[in-house]
Structure 1
Amino acid sequence: MQDSQDQATAGLPTKIDTSVAHEARVYDYWLGGKDNYPADRALGDAIASHIPAIRSMARANRAFLGRAVRYLVGEAGISQFLDIGTGIPTAGNTHEVAQHLDPAARVVYVDNDPIVLAHARALMSSTQEGRTAFIHADLHDPRSILSQSTLTSTLDFDRPVAIMLVAIMMYFRDSDDPHGVIDTMLDAIPSGSYLVITHPTADFDDRAMARVVSSAEQAGITFNPRSGAETTGLFAGTELVEPGVVPVVTWRPELTDKLSMGSVQASVDPESAWYWAGIGRKP
Protein backbone atom coordinates (compact mmCIF):
# COMPACT_ATOMS: atom_id res chain seq x y z
CA MET A 1 0.00 0.00 0.00
CA GLN A 2 2.83 2.40 0.80
CA ASP A 3 4.27 1.85 -2.68
CA SER A 4 1.00 2.86 -4.33
CA GLN A 5 0.82 5.98 -2.19
CA ASP A 6 4.41 6.91 -3.05
CA GLN A 7 3.65 6.50 -6.75
CA ALA A 8 0.56 8.69 -6.41
CA THR A 9 2.52 11.51 -4.80
CA ALA A 10 5.84 11.19 -6.64
CA GLY A 11 7.11 14.38 -8.22
CA LEU A 12 4.65 16.67 -6.49
CA PRO A 13 5.78 19.96 -4.88
CA THR A 14 7.19 19.68 -1.38
CA LYS A 15 8.47 23.22 -0.71
CA ILE A 16 6.74 24.79 2.27
CA ASP A 17 6.57 28.58 2.68
CA THR A 18 6.46 28.98 6.45
CA SER A 19 6.48 32.79 6.30
CA VAL A 20 2.89 32.92 5.08
CA ALA A 21 -0.10 31.59 7.03
CA HIS A 22 -1.93 28.65 5.49
CA GLU A 23 -5.45 27.65 6.41
CA ALA A 24 -4.59 23.97 6.95
CA ARG A 25 -1.85 24.85 9.41
CA VAL A 26 -3.99 27.42 11.25
CA TYR A 27 -6.66 24.73 11.67
CA ASP A 28 -3.98 22.33 12.91
CA TYR A 29 -2.96 24.94 15.50
CA TRP A 30 -6.53 25.28 16.77
CA LEU A 31 -6.82 21.50 17.05
CA GLY A 32 -3.68 21.40 19.21
CA GLY A 33 -1.39 20.04 16.50
CA LYS A 34 2.31 20.74 16.12
CA ASP A 35 2.58 21.18 12.36
CA ASN A 36 2.26 24.95 12.26
CA TYR A 37 4.57 27.95 12.18
CA PRO A 38 4.71 31.48 13.63
CA ALA A 39 2.66 32.98 10.79
CA ASP A 40 -0.02 30.34 11.27
CA ARG A 41 -0.10 30.82 15.03
CA ALA A 42 -0.25 34.59 14.67
CA LEU A 43 -3.31 34.37 12.47
CA GLY A 44 -4.84 31.69 14.67
CA ASP A 45 -4.39 33.90 17.73
CA ALA A 46 -5.74 36.96 15.92
CA ILE A 47 -8.91 35.09 15.03
CA ALA A 48 -9.15 33.65 18.56
CA SER A 49 -9.05 37.21 19.92
CA HIS A 50 -12.33 37.83 18.08
CA ILE A 51 -13.82 34.37 18.70
CA PRO A 52 -12.39 33.01 21.97
CA ALA A 53 -14.19 29.69 21.47
CA ILE A 54 -12.66 29.09 18.02
CA ARG A 55 -10.68 26.06 19.20
CA SER A 56 -13.76 24.27 20.49
CA MET A 57 -15.59 25.27 17.31
CA ALA A 58 -12.83 23.67 15.21
CA ARG A 59 -13.13 20.49 17.29
CA ALA A 60 -16.91 20.51 16.82
CA ASN A 61 -16.46 20.77 13.07
CA ARG A 62 -13.97 17.88 13.16
CA ALA A 63 -16.37 15.79 15.23
CA PHE A 64 -19.07 16.30 12.61
CA LEU A 65 -16.79 14.72 10.00
CA GLY A 66 -16.74 11.51 12.04
CA ARG A 67 -20.51 11.49 12.42
CA ALA A 68 -21.00 12.14 8.71
CA VAL A 69 -18.72 9.25 7.74
CA ARG A 70 -20.46 6.93 10.21
CA TYR A 71 -23.80 7.83 8.65
CA LEU A 72 -22.54 7.38 5.10
CA VAL A 73 -20.96 3.98 5.74
CA GLY A 74 -23.37 2.60 8.31
CA GLU A 75 -26.70 3.86 6.97
CA ALA A 76 -26.16 4.97 3.37
CA GLY A 77 -23.86 2.09 2.39
CA ILE A 78 -21.13 4.33 0.98
CA SER A 79 -17.64 2.82 0.70
CA GLN A 80 -15.90 5.48 -1.43
CA PHE A 81 -14.90 8.97 -0.32
CA LEU A 82 -13.35 11.99 -2.01
CA ASP A 83 -12.18 14.22 0.85
CA ILE A 84 -11.22 17.67 -0.46
CA GLY A 85 -9.42 20.16 1.76
CA THR A 86 -8.12 17.32 3.86
CA GLY A 87 -5.95 19.33 6.20
CA ILE A 88 -3.09 17.97 8.27
CA PRO A 89 -3.88 14.43 9.44
CA THR A 90 -5.04 14.02 13.02
CA ALA A 91 -7.06 11.44 14.92
CA GLY A 92 -10.26 10.31 13.24
CA ASN A 93 -9.34 10.89 9.60
CA THR A 94 -11.98 9.94 7.03
CA HIS A 95 -10.33 6.64 6.08
CA GLU A 96 -9.86 5.63 9.72
CA VAL A 97 -13.54 6.10 10.53
CA ALA A 98 -14.73 4.55 7.26
CA GLN A 99 -12.40 1.54 7.33
CA HIS A 100 -13.25 0.82 10.96
CA LEU A 101 -16.81 0.18 9.76
CA ASP A 102 -15.94 -1.17 6.30
CA PRO A 103 -12.35 -2.37 5.90
CA ALA A 104 -12.77 -2.28 2.11
CA ALA A 105 -13.57 1.44 2.04
CA ARG A 106 -11.53 3.61 -0.33
CA VAL A 107 -10.59 7.24 0.22
CA VAL A 108 -8.87 9.85 -1.92
CA TYR A 109 -7.64 12.94 -0.10
CA VAL A 110 -7.06 16.29 -1.83
CA ASP A 111 -5.25 19.35 -0.49
CA ASN A 112 -3.14 22.18 -1.89
CA ASP A 113 -0.68 22.51 1.01
CA PRO A 114 2.66 20.69 0.57
CA ILE A 115 2.87 20.02 4.31
CA VAL A 116 -0.34 18.00 4.05
CA LEU A 117 1.25 16.06 1.21
CA ALA A 118 4.27 15.29 3.38
CA HIS A 119 2.07 13.91 6.14
CA ALA A 120 -0.15 12.06 3.71
CA ARG A 121 2.82 9.93 2.70
CA ALA A 122 3.62 9.01 6.28
CA LEU A 123 0.26 8.79 8.01
CA MET A 124 -2.53 7.92 5.59
CA SER A 125 -2.13 4.18 5.59
CA SER A 126 -4.95 1.82 4.68
CA THR A 127 -6.34 -1.57 5.56
CA GLN A 128 -5.29 -4.38 3.25
CA GLU A 129 -8.84 -4.62 1.92
CA GLY A 130 -9.23 -0.89 1.27
CA ARG A 131 -7.11 1.82 -0.25
CA THR A 132 -6.15 5.45 0.32
CA ALA A 133 -4.46 7.94 -1.99
CA PHE A 134 -3.54 11.63 -2.00
CA ILE A 135 -3.79 14.27 -4.73
CA HIS A 136 -2.03 17.61 -4.46
CA ALA A 137 -4.54 19.92 -6.17
CA ASP A 138 -6.82 22.90 -5.61
CA LEU A 139 -10.63 22.75 -5.66
CA HIS A 140 -10.70 26.13 -7.39
CA ASP A 141 -9.80 24.07 -10.46
CA PRO A 142 -12.05 21.02 -10.01
CA ARG A 143 -10.98 19.47 -13.30
CA SER A 144 -7.41 19.32 -11.99
CA ILE A 145 -8.78 16.85 -9.45
CA LEU A 146 -11.09 14.91 -11.74
CA SER A 147 -8.39 14.45 -14.40
CA GLN A 148 -5.98 12.71 -12.02
CA SER A 149 -5.31 9.07 -12.81
CA THR A 150 -4.83 8.50 -9.08
CA LEU A 151 -8.48 9.38 -8.57
CA THR A 152 -9.88 7.00 -11.15
CA SER A 153 -7.52 4.18 -10.20
CA THR A 154 -8.61 4.41 -6.56
CA LEU A 155 -12.32 5.14 -6.82
CA ASP A 156 -14.89 3.46 -9.07
CA PHE A 157 -17.05 6.23 -10.50
CA ASP A 158 -19.64 3.71 -11.62
CA ARG A 159 -20.53 3.35 -7.93
CA PRO A 160 -21.64 6.07 -5.47
CA VAL A 161 -19.00 8.35 -3.99
CA ALA A 162 -19.24 10.77 -1.07
CA ILE A 163 -17.61 14.15 -1.70
CA MET A 164 -16.47 15.69 1.59
CA LEU A 165 -16.23 19.50 1.58
CA VAL A 166 -15.73 20.03 5.30
CA ALA A 167 -14.76 23.64 6.08
CA ILE A 168 -13.45 24.36 2.58
CA MET A 169 -16.06 26.39 0.70
CA MET A 170 -15.45 29.51 2.82
CA TYR A 171 -12.25 29.98 0.81
CA PHE A 172 -14.38 30.71 -2.25
CA ARG A 173 -15.69 34.17 -3.00
CA ASP A 174 -18.98 34.34 -4.87
CA SER A 175 -16.94 35.51 -7.85
CA ASP A 176 -15.09 32.16 -7.75
CA ASP A 177 -18.36 30.47 -8.78
CA PRO A 178 -18.64 28.01 -5.88
CA HIS A 179 -21.88 26.64 -7.30
CA GLY A 180 -20.18 25.88 -10.61
CA VAL A 181 -17.29 24.18 -8.82
CA ILE A 182 -19.65 21.95 -6.85
CA ASP A 183 -21.76 21.24 -9.94
CA THR A 184 -18.63 20.08 -11.79
CA MET A 185 -17.81 17.67 -8.98
CA LEU A 186 -21.40 16.40 -8.74
CA ASP A 187 -21.58 15.86 -12.50
CA ALA A 188 -18.66 13.44 -12.21
CA ILE A 189 -20.30 11.09 -9.71
CA PRO A 190 -23.30 8.79 -10.21
CA SER A 191 -26.78 8.88 -8.73
CA GLY A 192 -26.86 7.74 -5.14
CA SER A 193 -23.68 9.67 -4.33
CA TYR A 194 -23.49 12.18 -1.49
CA LEU A 195 -22.23 15.70 -0.85
CA VAL A 196 -21.07 16.74 2.63
CA ILE A 197 -20.54 20.41 3.51
CA THR A 198 -19.78 22.40 6.64
CA HIS A 199 -19.50 26.16 6.41
CA PRO A 200 -18.69 28.93 8.90
CA THR A 201 -21.32 31.61 9.27
CA ALA A 202 -21.85 35.13 10.54
CA ASP A 203 -25.46 34.30 11.42
CA PHE A 204 -24.67 33.94 15.14
CA ASP A 205 -22.40 37.01 15.55
CA ASP A 206 -21.90 39.14 12.48
CA ARG A 207 -19.59 41.68 14.12
CA ALA A 208 -17.11 39.11 15.45
CA MET A 209 -17.13 37.25 12.14
CA ALA A 210 -16.47 40.50 10.25
CA ARG A 211 -13.31 40.95 12.32
CA VAL A 212 -12.29 37.37 11.53
CA VAL A 213 -12.74 38.04 7.81
CA SER A 214 -10.58 41.14 8.12
CA SER A 215 -7.80 39.26 9.97
CA ALA A 216 -7.78 36.49 7.37
CA GLU A 217 -7.74 38.89 4.46
CA GLN A 218 -4.82 40.80 6.01
CA ALA A 219 -2.94 37.50 6.10
CA GLY A 220 -3.72 36.89 2.43
CA ILE A 221 -6.39 34.24 3.00
CA THR A 222 -9.84 34.55 1.49
CA PHE A 223 -12.50 33.89 4.13
CA ASN A 224 -16.14 34.15 3.14
CA PRO A 225 -18.73 33.09 5.75
CA ARG A 226 -22.19 32.25 4.43
CA SER A 227 -25.65 32.29 5.92
CA GLY A 228 -27.75 29.21 6.49
CA ALA A 229 -29.73 29.97 3.34
CA GLU A 230 -26.55 30.45 1.31
CA THR A 231 -25.06 27.21 2.64
CA THR A 232 -28.27 25.38 1.80
CA GLY A 233 -27.96 26.77 -1.72
CA LEU A 234 -24.64 24.97 -2.14
CA PHE A 235 -26.57 21.69 -2.01
CA ALA A 236 -28.56 22.55 -5.17
CA GLY A 237 -29.14 19.42 -7.21
CA THR A 238 -29.15 17.12 -4.19
CA GLU A 239 -31.79 15.91 -1.75
CA LEU A 240 -30.94 16.92 1.80
CA VAL A 241 -30.64 14.15 4.36
CA GLU A 242 -32.54 14.75 7.61
CA PRO A 243 -32.22 16.98 9.58
CA GLY A 244 -31.17 19.19 6.67
CA VAL A 245 -28.71 22.07 6.98
CA VAL A 246 -28.42 22.75 10.71
CA PRO A 247 -25.87 24.05 13.24
CA VAL A 248 -22.95 21.64 13.11
CA VAL A 249 -23.27 20.43 16.71
CA THR A 250 -26.91 19.43 16.18
CA TRP A 251 -26.43 17.24 13.09
CA ARG A 252 -27.15 13.65 14.19
CA PRO A 253 -25.38 13.84 17.58
CA GLU A 254 -26.35 10.22 18.25
CA LEU A 255 -23.66 9.21 15.74
CA THR A 256 -20.89 10.50 17.99
CA ASP A 257 -18.10 7.98 18.53
CA LYS A 258 -19.10 5.78 21.47
CA LEU A 259 -15.60 6.12 22.90
CA SER A 260 -16.20 9.84 23.42
CA MET A 261 -19.88 9.68 24.34
CA GLY A 262 -19.02 10.51 27.93
CA SER A 263 -18.02 14.00 26.86
CA VAL A 264 -21.21 14.62 24.88
CA GLN A 265 -23.68 16.81 26.72
CA ALA A 266 -27.33 15.86 26.81
CA SER A 267 -28.20 19.35 25.60
CA VAL A 268 -25.85 21.32 23.34
CA ASP A 269 -26.17 25.00 22.50
CA PRO A 270 -26.83 25.06 18.73
CA GLU A 271 -24.85 28.30 18.47
CA SER A 272 -21.79 27.01 20.32
CA ALA A 273 -20.01 26.43 16.99
CA TRP A 274 -20.53 28.90 14.16
CA TYR A 275 -20.84 26.39 11.33
CA TRP A 276 -23.74 25.12 9.27
CA ALA A 277 -23.59 21.46 8.28
CA GLY A 278 -25.48 19.11 6.03
CA ILE A 279 -25.43 16.12 3.71
CA GLY A 280 -27.16 15.90 0.36
CA ARG A 281 -27.86 12.85 -1.85
CA LYS A 282 -27.57 13.08 -5.61
CA PRO A 283 -30.86 11.67 -7.01
Structure 2
Amino acid sequence: MTTAHQPVELEELGPEHFTRARAPRVYDCLLGGVDTYQCDRDAALDLYMAAPWAALAARTNRHFTQTATGAALRLGIGQFLDLGCGLPNRPNLHHLVPHGNHVVYVDRDPGVLAHAKSRLDPSPPYTTTVVAADLLDMEELLARGDVAAALDVDRPIAVTVHDVLPWNADDTAVADAMAVLRGWLPTGSTLSITHLTDHFNARTVPQAVAVYERHGITVRPRSPAEISAFFGGFTHLGSGLAAVSQWSAHGPNVLNFTPYPARASDCAAFAGIAVKT
Protein backbone atom coordinates (compact mmCIF):
# COMPACT_ATOMS: atom_id res chain seq x y z
CA MET A 1 0.00 0.00 0.00
CA THR A 2 1.27 3.47 -0.83
CA THR A 3 0.55 6.25 1.63
CA ALA A 4 -1.45 9.22 0.33
CA HIS A 5 0.84 11.90 1.74
CA GLN A 6 4.17 13.18 0.54
CA PRO A 7 7.21 11.62 2.26
CA VAL A 8 8.03 13.43 5.48
CA GLU A 9 11.52 14.86 5.77
CA LEU A 10 13.11 14.22 9.14
CA GLU A 11 13.64 17.46 11.00
CA GLU A 12 17.01 18.95 11.77
CA LEU A 13 18.01 20.25 15.16
CA GLY A 14 17.78 24.02 14.54
CA PRO A 15 17.61 27.00 16.95
CA GLU A 16 13.80 26.93 17.04
CA HIS A 17 13.98 23.48 18.57
CA PHE A 18 15.07 25.06 21.85
CA THR A 19 12.61 27.99 21.88
CA ARG A 20 9.35 26.28 20.88
CA ALA A 21 7.64 23.61 22.97
CA ARG A 22 7.90 20.05 21.66
CA ALA A 23 5.38 17.33 22.44
CA PRO A 24 7.96 14.75 23.64
CA ARG A 25 9.55 17.26 26.02
CA VAL A 26 6.19 18.45 27.40
CA TYR A 27 5.36 14.79 28.05
CA ASP A 28 8.74 14.32 29.74
CA CYS A 29 8.02 17.35 31.89
CA LEU A 30 4.68 15.86 32.96
CA LEU A 31 6.56 12.72 33.98
CA GLY A 32 8.99 14.75 36.09
CA GLY A 33 11.82 14.48 33.58
CA VAL A 34 14.60 17.04 33.24
CA ASP A 35 15.30 16.95 29.49
CA THR A 36 13.20 20.07 28.93
CA TYR A 37 13.50 23.80 28.26
CA GLN A 38 11.57 26.78 29.61
CA CYS A 39 9.21 26.72 26.63
CA ASP A 40 8.26 23.11 27.47
CA ARG A 41 7.79 23.85 31.17
CA ASP A 42 5.58 26.83 30.30
CA ALA A 43 3.45 24.63 28.05
CA ALA A 44 3.22 21.91 30.72
CA LEU A 45 2.10 24.45 33.32
CA ASP A 46 -0.53 25.90 30.98
CA LEU A 47 -1.69 22.37 30.22
CA TYR A 48 -1.95 21.53 33.91
CA MET A 49 -4.03 24.66 34.54
CA ALA A 50 -6.46 23.68 31.79
CA ALA A 51 -6.42 19.93 32.47
CA PRO A 52 -5.25 19.06 36.01
CA TRP A 53 -5.32 15.36 35.09
CA ALA A 54 -2.53 15.76 32.51
CA ALA A 55 0.36 14.56 34.70
CA LEU A 56 -1.62 11.54 35.93
CA ALA A 57 -2.54 10.75 32.33
CA ALA A 58 1.15 10.74 31.38
CA ARG A 59 2.03 8.39 34.23
CA THR A 60 -0.87 6.11 33.35
CA ASN A 61 0.23 5.94 29.74
CA ARG A 62 3.79 5.19 30.79
CA HIS A 63 2.60 2.37 33.03
CA PHE A 64 0.79 0.79 30.09
CA THR A 65 4.14 0.10 28.43
CA GLN A 66 4.84 -2.34 31.25
CA THR A 67 1.42 -3.91 30.73
CA ALA A 68 1.90 -4.32 26.98
CA THR A 69 5.42 -5.68 27.40
CA GLY A 70 4.23 -8.20 29.96
CA ALA A 71 1.47 -9.35 27.63
CA ALA A 72 3.94 -9.89 24.79
CA LEU A 73 6.37 -11.80 27.00
CA ARG A 74 3.59 -14.09 28.22
CA LEU A 75 2.86 -14.90 24.59
CA GLY A 76 6.51 -15.87 24.08
CA ILE A 77 7.47 -12.84 21.97
CA GLY A 78 11.15 -11.90 22.16
CA GLN A 79 11.55 -8.90 19.84
CA PHE A 80 10.06 -5.44 20.20
CA LEU A 81 9.45 -2.38 18.02
CA ASP A 82 8.72 0.91 19.82
CA LEU A 83 7.30 3.42 17.33
CA GLY A 84 7.56 7.01 18.56
CA CYS A 85 9.64 6.05 21.57
CA GLY A 86 9.94 9.56 23.03
CA LEU A 87 12.58 10.73 25.45
CA PRO A 88 14.22 8.01 27.55
CA ASN A 89 12.52 7.75 30.94
CA ARG A 90 13.05 4.67 33.14
CA PRO A 91 11.91 2.07 32.90
CA ASN A 92 12.57 2.09 29.18
CA LEU A 93 11.21 -0.83 27.19
CA HIS A 94 14.52 -2.70 27.08
CA HIS A 95 14.64 -2.64 30.89
CA LEU A 96 11.39 -4.62 30.94
CA VAL A 97 12.47 -7.56 28.77
CA PRO A 98 14.99 -10.34 29.41
CA HIS A 99 18.54 -9.70 28.27
CA GLY A 100 19.10 -10.73 24.68
CA ASN A 101 15.65 -9.71 23.46
CA HIS A 102 16.08 -7.07 20.79
CA VAL A 103 14.33 -3.69 21.10
CA VAL A 104 14.14 -1.26 18.19
CA TYR A 105 13.39 2.35 19.14
CA VAL A 106 12.04 4.64 16.41
CA ASP A 107 11.39 8.39 16.46
CA ARG A 108 11.52 11.36 14.13
CA ASP A 109 12.12 14.14 16.65
CA PRO A 110 15.77 15.25 16.45
CA GLY A 111 16.02 15.97 20.19
CA VAL A 112 14.58 12.56 21.05
CA LEU A 113 17.03 10.91 18.69
CA ALA A 114 19.98 12.75 20.20
CA HIS A 115 19.07 11.52 23.67
CA ALA A 116 18.22 8.03 22.41
CA LYS A 117 21.55 7.67 20.63
CA SER A 118 23.42 8.58 23.81
CA ARG A 119 21.28 6.65 26.29
CA LEU A 120 19.51 3.82 24.43
CA ASP A 121 22.09 2.65 21.91
CA PRO A 122 23.37 -0.83 22.74
CA SER A 123 25.36 -1.31 25.88
CA PRO A 124 25.85 -4.73 27.47
CA PRO A 125 23.81 -6.63 28.45
CA TYR A 126 21.06 -4.91 26.44
CA THR A 127 20.41 -5.36 22.71
CA THR A 128 18.88 -2.20 21.25
CA THR A 129 18.76 -0.29 17.98
CA VAL A 130 17.82 3.39 17.58
CA VAL A 131 16.30 4.35 14.22
CA ALA A 132 15.62 7.85 12.85
CA ALA A 133 12.39 7.46 10.90
CA ASP A 134 8.81 8.69 10.66
CA LEU A 135 6.02 6.17 11.15
CA LEU A 136 3.96 7.98 8.50
CA ASP A 137 6.55 6.67 6.02
CA MET A 138 5.91 3.14 7.26
CA GLU A 139 6.95 1.32 4.09
CA GLU A 140 10.32 3.05 4.07
CA LEU A 141 10.74 2.54 7.83
CA LEU A 142 10.11 -1.19 7.68
CA ALA A 143 12.37 -1.61 4.64
CA ARG A 144 15.41 -0.07 6.33
CA GLY A 145 18.46 -2.27 6.66
CA ASP A 146 18.92 -1.60 10.37
CA VAL A 147 15.32 -2.60 11.07
CA ALA A 148 15.64 -5.75 8.95
CA ALA A 149 18.87 -6.67 10.71
CA ALA A 150 17.32 -6.29 14.16
CA LEU A 151 13.90 -7.90 13.65
CA ASP A 152 13.22 -11.39 12.31
CA VAL A 153 9.95 -11.29 10.37
CA ASP A 154 9.71 -15.07 10.61
CA ARG A 155 8.94 -14.70 14.32
CA PRO A 156 6.28 -12.64 16.15
CA ILE A 157 7.09 -9.01 16.97
CA ALA A 158 5.58 -6.86 19.71
CA VAL A 159 4.84 -3.30 18.54
CA THR A 160 4.02 -0.41 20.86
CA VAL A 161 2.46 2.78 19.50
CA HIS A 162 1.83 4.64 22.73
CA ASP A 163 0.66 8.26 22.72
CA VAL A 164 2.07 8.73 19.21
CA LEU A 165 -0.79 8.76 16.71
CA PRO A 166 -2.58 11.81 18.25
CA TRP A 167 0.40 13.95 17.20
CA ASN A 168 -0.31 13.13 13.56
CA ALA A 169 -3.44 14.93 12.38
CA ASP A 170 -3.56 13.49 8.85
CA ASP A 171 -6.18 10.76 9.28
CA THR A 172 -5.54 9.18 5.87
CA ALA A 173 -1.77 9.05 6.34
CA VAL A 174 -2.11 7.52 9.81
CA ALA A 175 -4.64 4.90 8.64
CA ASP A 176 -2.45 3.96 5.67
CA ALA A 177 0.67 3.68 7.83
CA MET A 178 -1.07 1.42 10.33
CA ALA A 179 -2.41 -0.76 7.51
CA VAL A 180 1.13 -1.20 6.16
CA LEU A 181 2.36 -2.11 9.65
CA ARG A 182 -0.39 -4.68 10.18
CA GLY A 183 0.28 -6.27 6.82
CA TRP A 184 4.02 -6.52 7.53
CA LEU A 185 3.72 -8.06 10.99
CA PRO A 186 4.06 -11.85 11.19
CA THR A 187 1.30 -13.99 12.65
CA GLY A 188 1.39 -14.07 16.45
CA SER A 189 2.60 -10.47 16.74
CA THR A 190 1.03 -8.00 19.16
CA LEU A 191 0.02 -4.42 18.48
CA SER A 192 -0.41 -2.13 21.50
CA ILE A 193 -1.88 1.35 21.05
CA THR A 194 -2.75 4.16 23.43
CA HIS A 195 -4.50 7.22 22.04
CA LEU A 196 -5.91 10.50 23.37
CA THR A 197 -9.70 10.84 23.20
CA ASP A 198 -12.36 13.28 24.36
CA HIS A 199 -14.71 10.35 24.93
CA PHE A 200 -14.25 10.36 28.72
CA ASN A 201 -13.72 14.08 29.22
CA ALA A 202 -15.53 16.13 26.61
CA ARG A 203 -15.00 19.42 28.44
CA THR A 204 -11.31 19.62 29.30
CA VAL A 205 -9.74 17.61 26.47
CA PRO A 206 -10.65 20.33 23.93
CA GLN A 207 -9.17 22.85 26.36
CA ALA A 208 -5.97 20.82 26.50
CA VAL A 209 -5.88 20.67 22.70
CA ALA A 210 -6.23 24.47 22.60
CA VAL A 211 -3.30 24.85 25.01
CA TYR A 212 -1.09 22.70 22.81
CA GLU A 213 -2.12 24.70 19.75
CA ARG A 214 -1.22 27.99 21.50
CA HIS A 215 2.23 26.55 22.02
CA GLY A 216 2.55 25.49 18.38
CA ILE A 217 1.75 21.79 18.82
CA THR A 218 -1.01 20.06 16.85
CA VAL A 219 -2.80 17.20 18.57
CA ARG A 220 -5.73 15.14 17.28
CA PRO A 221 -7.95 13.25 19.76
CA ARG A 222 -9.89 10.45 18.12
CA SER A 223 -13.10 8.55 18.81
CA PRO A 224 -13.33 4.92 19.93
CA ALA A 225 -14.30 3.86 16.39
CA GLU A 226 -11.34 5.69 14.85
CA ILE A 227 -8.88 4.20 17.33
CA SER A 228 -10.37 0.71 16.99
CA ALA A 229 -9.82 0.87 13.22
CA PHE A 230 -6.04 1.07 13.74
CA PHE A 231 -6.12 -2.53 14.99
CA GLY A 232 -7.78 -3.81 11.82
CA GLY A 233 -8.88 -7.41 12.20
CA PHE A 234 -6.42 -8.27 14.97
CA THR A 235 -7.84 -10.14 17.98
CA HIS A 236 -7.99 -8.06 21.14
CA LEU A 237 -6.65 -9.37 24.42
CA GLY A 238 -8.33 -8.81 27.77
CA SER A 239 -10.95 -6.11 27.99
CA GLY A 240 -10.38 -4.98 24.41
CA LEU A 241 -10.30 -1.27 23.69
CA ALA A 242 -10.72 0.38 27.09
CA ALA A 243 -9.68 3.39 29.12
CA VAL A 244 -5.92 3.13 29.49
CA SER A 245 -6.21 3.08 33.28
CA GLN A 246 -8.90 0.41 33.23
CA TRP A 247 -7.46 -2.09 30.76
CA SER A 248 -7.02 -5.51 32.30
CA ALA A 249 -6.78 -9.08 31.12
CA HIS A 250 -7.33 -12.50 32.60
CA GLY A 251 -6.86 -15.82 30.91
CA PRO A 252 -4.37 -18.54 30.01
CA ASN A 253 -2.02 -16.21 28.12
CA VAL A 254 -2.39 -12.83 29.83
CA LEU A 255 -2.77 -13.08 33.58
CA ASN A 256 -3.89 -10.69 36.28
CA PHE A 257 -2.91 -7.28 34.97
CA THR A 258 -4.00 -4.79 37.58
CA PRO A 259 -5.69 -1.63 36.28
CA TYR A 260 -3.83 1.58 37.03
CA PRO A 261 -5.36 3.53 39.96
CA ALA A 262 -6.90 6.35 37.92
CA ARG A 263 -10.38 7.18 36.68
CA ALA A 264 -11.09 6.98 32.97
CA SER A 265 -11.67 10.74 32.89
CA ASP A 266 -8.22 11.30 34.41
CA CYS A 267 -6.39 9.38 31.70
CA ALA A 268 -8.41 10.68 28.72
CA ALA A 269 -7.11 7.89 26.51
CA PHE A 270 -8.04 4.50 25.12
CA ALA A 271 -5.70 1.52 25.10
CA GLY A 272 -5.73 -1.87 23.48
CA ILE A 273 -3.47 -4.86 22.89
CA ALA A 274 -4.31 -7.13 19.97
CA VAL A 275 -2.75 -10.18 18.33
CA LYS A 276 -2.43 -10.97 14.63
CA THR A 277 -3.99 -14.40 14.19
Gaps of 5+ in 1: 1-11
- The answer to which structure has the higher helix fraction is 1
Secondary structure, in 3 states, of the residue corresponding to 1:237? Answer: coil
In structure 2, distance between residues paired with 1:20 and 1:231: 29
In structure 2, distance between residues paired with 1:126 and 1:78: 20
TM-score (ref. length: structure 1)? 0.85
Q: Is residue 263 of structure 2 the alignment partner of residue 269 of structure 1?
A: yes
Look up the match of 1:134: 130
Look up the match of 2:114: 118
CA drift at 1:119: 1.8
Question: Which of 220, 225, 229 is the matching residue for 1:229?
Answer: 225
Counterpart contact for 2:68–2:160, Cα < 8 Å: no
Secondary structure, in 3 states, of the residue corresponding to 2:200? Answer: coil
Secondary structure, in 3 states, of the residue corresponding to 1:271? Answer: helix
Counterpart of 1:135, as a letter, is: V
Counterpart contact for 2:243–2:270, Cα < 8 Å: yes
CA distance 1:65–1:216, shift in 2 (3 Å): same
Counterpart contact for 2:50–2:211, Cα < 8 Å: no
In structure 2, distance between residues paired with 1:76 and 1:56: 29
Q: What's the C-alpha RMSD, in Å, of the aligned pairs?
A: 2.2
Matched pairs, number: 260
CA drift at 1:164: 0.8
Secondary structure, in 3 states, of the residue corresponding to 1:177? Answer: helix
Counterpart of 1:19, as a letter, is: T
Task: Give percent identity, aligned residues only.
Answer: 33
Question: Which of 214, 217, 229 is the matching residue for 1:218?
Answer: 214
CA drift at 1:63: 0.4
Q: Is residue 247 of structure 2 the alignment partner of residue 281 of structure 1?
A: no
Question: Which of 149, 154, 179 is the matching residue for 1:158?
Answer: 154
Secondary structure, in 3 states, of the residue corresponding to 2:161? Answer: strand
In structure 2, distance between residues paired with 1:126 and 1:47: 35
Counterpart of 1:97, as a letter, is: L
Counterpart of 1:211, as a letter, is: Q
Look up the match of 2:63: 63
Look up the match of 2:22: 22
In structure 1, distance between residues paired with 2:132 and 2:156: 23
Look up the match of 1:83: 82
Look up the match of 1:6: none
In structure 1, distance between residues paired with 2:157 and 2:14: 31
CA drift at 1:242: 1.5
Secondary structure, in 3 states, of the residue corresponding to 2:19? Answer: coil
In structure 2, distance between residues paired with 1:49 and 1:176: 33
In structure 2, distance between residues paired with 1:159 and 1:91: 27
Instruction: Summarize deviations over 1:240-281 as a string: whole Å, max 9, x none.
Output: 11110111111228446xxxx9xx75xx53333111100111
CA drift at 1:172: 2.2
In structure 1, distance between residues paired with 2:276 and 2:12: 34
CA drift at 1:123: 1.9
CA drift at 1:174: 4.6
TM-score (ref. length: structure 2)? 0.86
Moved more, 58-67 or 115-124: 115-124
